Every structure is written in C-alpha cells, then in structure tokens.
Structure 1
C-alpha cells in the first residue's frame, strides 16, 4: 500500500501520514464518522510499521532497538485481563528481523496494527527524567511569570526507557520481585532508584519535590533532511517534548508519609519512624499519570558518637548533606545531618514539625494515548529545570 512501485517514504513522511490519520487518539468513545477510512484500515498501519521499524530502522547494531511490540486485538483480548495468567498479556514481543510477516507469522491475524505502531513509536523514543528540589516560592514566581528563571536547589537527570510492563519492587530488599503487563499504561521505571536518588532529601518546609519527564530523541524525532550547518545540528539536538511535569510540597509528602498504610499502602506493618521506607503514589496534574516514590525519614546518626565511622555511616551523612544543597566532605556532612535531625526531632513531637525526607523516584506511568498524542502533536516550549 505504501511505497509500492517507487521509493519508500522517509521516516519524516511516514510520521506526517500517521499524524494525518490520528484523529482517534485520546477518544474514549469512537464515532466512526470521525475516523477516516485509512485510520480504520489495518493494512495501512501494518505497512507503516513495516517501513518505519523494519525497513527504516536506523541503528541495527543498537541492542535497545532490537525489540518490537505487537498489541493484540481488543476483540480477542480486552484490557480487563488477569495479569497473573501466564501469557495472558495484551501484547507480545519479538526481536527485530528483516521481514515483518516472517517475524509475526500466523499471529498477524490477531495483531492490532494501529496500536502496535503507536506502542513501538513510544518504545523506540528516548526519554529523560529530571527529579529536583525547588523552593515553593521560586515555583510560584515561575508559574505567575513564565519568563522567570527556575533554578532548582538540587537536581538529577536520569535516562529512562518506556515499557508496556511494570516492575514491582520490594523496598525492604531493593530487589525486583515480579514484572506485570502495564499496557495500556506505559511505565518509565528506575531500577536503581535507591542509589540514583540517594541525595534527594527535602530538608525544609519550603522545599517542593519536582518530577519532569521529557522525550528527547529517537523514533518520534525523525529529520526530513540532514542538518546543513552547525547551527541547525545544534537545534536538532535540542528537540524535546515534555510529557509530564508536576511537583508536590514538603507538607504533602510528609502527610502521605505519616499516613502510612492506612492511607497510602505502606509496605511495613508498623508505624513510620526515621529510617523506615514507604511507597507512596502521587497523581500528576489534572489526574494525568502517576508517580511512584519510595519515601524515608533521614536516619538519626547522632546515636553513634564514638569510634571510626563505617563507610555506610559516612554515606548516610553524605546523602543528607548533598540533599541540603552543598557538596562537602563526608565528615562535615555528618555533622550537618546530626544538627538538622536534632532540630527536627525537637519540634516533631510538639507540633509535627520538620523531618528530613529522602524521596527516591521509582517510576512514572502514563496512558499510551497521552504519550502518543504529545509525541505527535504537542508544541510549545518544553519545561526545563
């Protein structure tokens, strides 16, 4: 149907076709009058997927691009599936091969080619997550005046990957325990969350915990023509789309942490105290998406005043001090941690005051249709931290 009898369309041209026939994205109720004949034509989507991800695959040597995802037709497999039944998943995976029809074989008849195209577009795009601590006053100033520079107190940028599956972590052992299908949600997980966000500690009631997910390259960013000069190349490299941005105040994180299992599904059978870790979930702005965070109180290190410090103890002090903005020697950081914790503890019992909270982002989840729509149509300036 596409590229017959002539040169195959470029990726840029193919994506333009996809945009033209993507009126159904995001609609919970589909009116057939809103859909073009092409949009309902599975052969069209089969051919686009073939040309885009088989014939047009840019980096065959890159292992990250080896997997292709195929969504089963809803008529054969609805979204109300039982995750615990082996093989009862809304999608299946194959490794890249030179011919699409040979790759899927007889399974071709059960594939929803339209949704499969979108899922692969999402999966083969590159993403980064930014986790930052910002001043609440600074955020308010930025919201009231977009021209105001937003300078985070501390931030970490991490490369993440889109997956139609979700990994559940045991916080007490830091190990992956099981993987389940997440589709129609897409999950961006941080497997090493405990070490990656080791230094993200809210140490002031004015602090806000900020999460930003950007698409930064890959399949959703094809170039029509190669850059002609250095300036164009620089602009091409700056391509970015913000898919998720939101923040919560220290008070909101503290409230969720204190609520424990009664309100937020604590993994522990006893009350919260410094050093205990709870899993909390935060909805995105407008209820869009979900952020999963492991929150723990900073351990009081003033209990051990004598003797040489173990690497673990030094690390704990270092974590807090970095989270408090300044990178200094571990010995200095440990003193700061003791003092801050002492101040927090002295007011905690009296008025529920400040307790330093370490926040380790575990995952961000978004519905695939939201991501696909933004990758195809979202304009404007991306959010930067």
Structure 2
C-alpha cells in the first residue's frame, strides 16, 4: 500500500501522483493500451482515495462535507448486474467513516476506484459562479487586447457546489424539485436562481449575458505544507481556476425568447403567466458544457406598482411569495423600473418595436467530469476576472 514503509504522503504529494498517472482523462477505453500499469491498477486508486479522503480528512473540522461518492464499473452498470447492490444509478453515496473498506462493504466489487477518486476530487473542491452583464464592445476590446480592463455593467457572485445529480426545477408549481443522476456530467445548480439574479436584466442591444465558473479552493488545491492539509486551501492559498467562461449577446437571447429556438439552444416554456418565461439551454464555447437560464420579459412596473397581479407579489408561474422580504421586493421593483425605463428609450433604427428588457437567471451549469478533472489537475494560465 502507498505509504506502508513510512509516513503517509501528504495530500499535495498524493495529488502529484494522481497527475503523473492521469493520462487517460479525456480518452476512450480503446486508448487504454497507452496507459501505464499503475494507471489501470484499481488498488492504486483505492489506496489514493483512502489516504486522500479517509486518512487525510479531519472529520471534526469538516463536518459539513462528509459525503463520499463511488462510481460503479462501466462494464457492470446497465447489463443485468445485481440491482440489489446500490440500485441502477451509475454511482452511490456514503457518509464519511474512519475505514474505507468497512464503509463500502460488499459493494467494493462494483466500484471503479479511479473514476471515484476523480469524482470526489471534483465534489470536494469549492466553486463560485459569476453572472454578469457586460458591454459587447468592451468584450471585443478585451479579446483583441488582453490589457484592456473588463468592467461589467453589473455582476453577481454566488457559491455553487459540484454534484453528480441533476436538478429539474418546477418553477410553475408547488412541487418539490426532481433530481436524477447526471453523471458522467457534473451539475452546478443555483436553487434560489430567481431571487439571486433578480436584477440581472439586459437593457441594451450592446449588452451581453456572461457566465464564469471558477474553482476557488478545497480538495483540488492542497497545501504543500502537510500540517495545512485539513484546512480549506481557499483560506491559505490564493487560488482561482476558470473552468467555464462564455457569453451570449442580447440579440441571441432575444431571438431565442421570441422564436422559441435558436442556433445556441432551445426553449421549453414552463410558465403560465402573462409575462412569458422560458428555459433556455446554451452550449458553452466549443460545445463544451451547457448552461440553463430562465429568461423573462420585465414588465413596465410604473404602470402597476401594487395589487394582486403585480410581479412583485407572484412568482414566475403565478405562485404567491408573501414571505419575500419587503426590502428585497422594493429593491427588485426599483431595478425593474429602471431597467424598463432604460430599455424603453431604445428603438430599432427603423422606428420599430420597443426593445424588451430581459431578466436572465442562471439555473445551472453542466460539464463532463473529465473536462473538470483535467482542468483541476493540469490547466494553467490566469483566471478570467470580471
């Protein structure tokens, strides 16, 4: 076993071993003849996972992060294997315990230890998402000259969590959200998307809707000092790694909102109010990943600031939200009124239809686990800053 002949390696040393034997990330099974014997050795990955997430973890210091994920062997899943062993999901979950083999029990025979190590590395890393409104001209200048500052018109930064589970929000009813396995994709969902991004409103044809996903600490950023292994790296190292960055113009969002489909995604209506709300799926740059956004037109709230039909008193699907804090409602009302006033002054060059201000609420980002694992291990360069 790794570390049997002396002191167990630190997390930093273990991650160096993982990097050395991660040539298979992003490759198909047919390419495995190019891998080293160690890379295909399930015991090696079992021992790494054991040391990294069992032996290298202080349970008392990390009580809020005690879930471990175990990916099933691909050759066994979906081919009539005993479904009594962990059901038909491609992975199963356990709460942290002091001994890995006792934790997994008889299910160890179906575990793909290599993929399980990568999944836990992803799940135990810390992330933030930045949603911003930027000027298209500013973005173009920045792309042409990296020294040009990229100052957003407005932005929101939100902590998100990596999960192998996909969340399907039912915003048009009182039903609880549905969840289903997303793996091999990893989903970063924003449960309170409507309130978090309530003021993200595109009010100009020059506006772009921008999304950044950054890794900012945790398991993928261990300290070189073994005595700091059980401290969140985000508190000790100045780390930030951009895993996803992309933007769409106002015109693209408007076309999708009006027509119901576009070249970058599709629309699925889920609201029944007079203010149409649509769920848009946007592919990331180069087709990498997917962003799910709720888009809705912002009504002219100067015409009706109170009453049972006010957008401030009902949700997108017409549900009562009386529990909303009055101050937050007031801020949202002012933001919407200002957005509508700014957008209403903009008309097409031919004097046509008044521009519609569009509120864009990020619901989730999904990325393949191999893309995330590769970037966490090998991606260099400076992060994108907004």
Which deviates the most, 1-10 or 218-227? 218-227
Corresponding residue for 2:266? 264
**Rounded Cα–Cα distance in structure 1 between residues aligned with 2:15 and 2:120:** 13
Q: CA RMSD in A?
A: 3.1
* 2:36 is the counterpart of 1:32: no
The normalised TM-score by structure 1 is 0.85
2:355 aligns to what? 354
**1:52-71 equivalences in 2 (<5 Å):** 52-58=52-58, 60-71=60-71
Match in the other structure for 1:254: 254
| 1:318 shift after superposition | 3.6
Which residue matches 1:370? Answer: 371
SS of structure 2 residue aligned to 1:30? helix
Structure 2 counterpart SS, 1:8: coil
**Residue 142 of structure 1 pairs with residue 155 of structure 2:** no
From 318, 327, 332, the counterpart of 1:319: 332
Contact 1:171 1:277 in 2 (8 A): no
2:276 corresponds to which residue? 276
Q: Deviations over 1:85-144 (max 9, x none)?
A: x93100000000000000000000100000000000000000000000000000001000
Deviations 1:355-381 (A, max 9, x none): 100000000000000000000000010
Q: Secondary structure of the equivalent of 2:64?
A: helix
Query: 1:82-231 alignment to 2 at 5 Å?
Result: 87-173=87-173, 176-225=176-225
Aligned length: 362
Q: Secondary structure, in 3 states, of the residue corresponding to 2:169?
A: strand
Do 2:257 and 2:267's aligned partners in 1 also have CA atoms closer than 8 Å? no
The question of whether the paired residues in 2 share the 8 Å contact of 1:126 and 1:215 is answered with yes
The aligned counterpart of 1:327 is none
How much has 1:316 moved relative to structure 2?
6.5
CA apart distance, 1:169: 0.4
Post-superposition offset of 1:354 = 1.5
Q: 1:175 to 1:294 in 2, by over 3 A?
A: farther
TM-score (norm 2): 0.85
Query: CA separation of 1:373/1:72 partners in 2, compared to 1, >3 Å: closer, same or farther?
Result: same
* Structure 1 residue 148: Cα displacement: 1.1
- CA distance in 1 between counterparts of 2:305 and 2:183 reads 51
CA distance in 1 between partners of 2:332 and 2:305 (Å)? 18
- Distance (whole Å) between structure 2 residues aligned to residue 234 and residue 370 of structure 1: 22
Residues 1:355 and 1:317: Cα distance change in structure 2 (over 3 Å)? farther
The change in CA–CA distance for 1:305 and 1:177 in structure 2 (over 3 A counts) is closer
Whole-angstrom CA distance in 1 between matches of 2:306 and 2:291: 40
1:30-86 per-position Cα deviation (integer Å, ceiling 9, x unaligned): 32331000000000000000000000014544333210000000010159x9xxxx9
Q: Which runs of no fewer than 5 residues in structure 2 stay unpaired?
A: 314-325
Q: Which residue of 2 aligns with 1:339?
A: 341
Q: Distance in 2 between matches of 1:194 and 1:111?
A: 38
- 1:266 match: secondary structure: strand
Name the SS for the 1:304 alignment partner.
coil
Partner of 2:373: helix, strand, or coil? helix
Q: CA deviation at 1:173?
A: 3.4
Inter-partner Cα distance in structure 1 for 2:246 and 2:350: 31
After TM superposition, give the deviation of residue 317 of structure 1 in Å: 7.0
| Inter-partner Cα distance in structure 2 for 1:360 and 1:196 | 8
What runs of 5+ residues in structure 1 fail to find an aligned partner? Answer: 323-332
